[in-house]
Amino acid sequence: MNLTRLFVGNLSYQTMASDLQDHFSQAGVVRSVDVMFDKFTGKSRGFAFVEMSTPEEANKAVEMFHSKELQGRQLTVNIARPKEDRPPRSGEHRGRGGDYHRDSGRRDSR
């Protein structure tokens, strides 16, 4: 588990990576900032990941910024959990329950 990676939620949709870089540098050295964007609309999803240089700096950032305001929004800041494997979304078929016939759209119930 990476103890230096922070989840930052409840961001204003106008918040940019440079805003987070500047803000979190008050707690220590910021290694990277990844603002999450919707792949279809290109708009911010309202959360980001900030990686600090050390676990101590990450913990300091949580203490300094969790439940504090940035650009009119009360932030959620905590140590990021590892990415979990998620089941496929509906409409995504990854070979479960048989194969689809390409020519007719019928399911093969092998």
pLDDT in tens, 63-93: 999 999 999 999 999 999 887 776 776 665 5
103 is a domain residue: no
Provide the CATH number for the domain around residue 34.
3.30.70.330
Number of structural domains found in the chain: 1
State pTM to two decimals: 0.74
Domain of 46, in residue numbers: 5-79
- Longest CA span, the chain: 60
CA–CA distance from 99 to each of 42, 79, 87, 88, 105 (Å)?
33, 41, 18, 16, 10
Give the pLDDT confidence of 6-43 residue by residue, as tens digits.
Answer: 999 999 999 999 999 999 999 999 999 999 999 999 99
